[in-house]
Amino acid sequence: MDGTVTELRKGALDVLILKTVSWGPAHGYAISRWIRETTGGTLIVEEGALYPALHRLEQKGWIESEWRLSETNRRVKSYRITPAGMRQLHAEASSWTRFAAAMAQVLDGTRAPVWAAES
């Protein structure tokens, strides 16, 4: 990792996609672009990870797809969140928020563990 692009952790991509399509229907490139722009380029979702994830989320019933015309009149597959996907997003968002807070506590910690004083 070079500090510019953060590798996605297990499960993070699903939450990112669900959050993105919670704003409204979007095609794959738009999903990837929104995540990249929103994170200031820290998170970049490559096609090789995005499309299998979209397929997996569709299989789980968390998103649905349909063919539409893009802004440039190209035929694209557009994805939208389902009610089940919205419930999953809320559950996962809560879990990720707790995880991020716990990681911040550890990384920002200034108190050494008890056993560290023994060395």
pLDDT digits (tens, 9 = 90+) for 11-21: 899 999 999 99
pLDDT digits (tens, 9 = 90+) for 57-113: 999 999 999 999 988 899 999 999 999 999 999 999 999 999 999 999 999 988 888
Please tell me the predicted confidence (pLDDT) of residue 119.
Answer: 59
Please tell me the predicted confidence (pLDDT) of residue 4.
Answer: 45
Cα→Cα distances 31→21, 27, 114, 116, 119, Å: 7, 6, 46, 45, 50
pLDDT digits (tens, 9 = 90+) for 101-111: 999 999 998 88
- Between CA 9 and CA 102 the distance in angstroms is 16
pTM above 0.85, yes or no: no
- Amino acid making up residue 14: D
Domain ranges of the chain: 12-106
Check: CATH 1.10.10.10 for 12-106?
A: yes
Q: What is the mean pLDDT of the chain?
A: 90
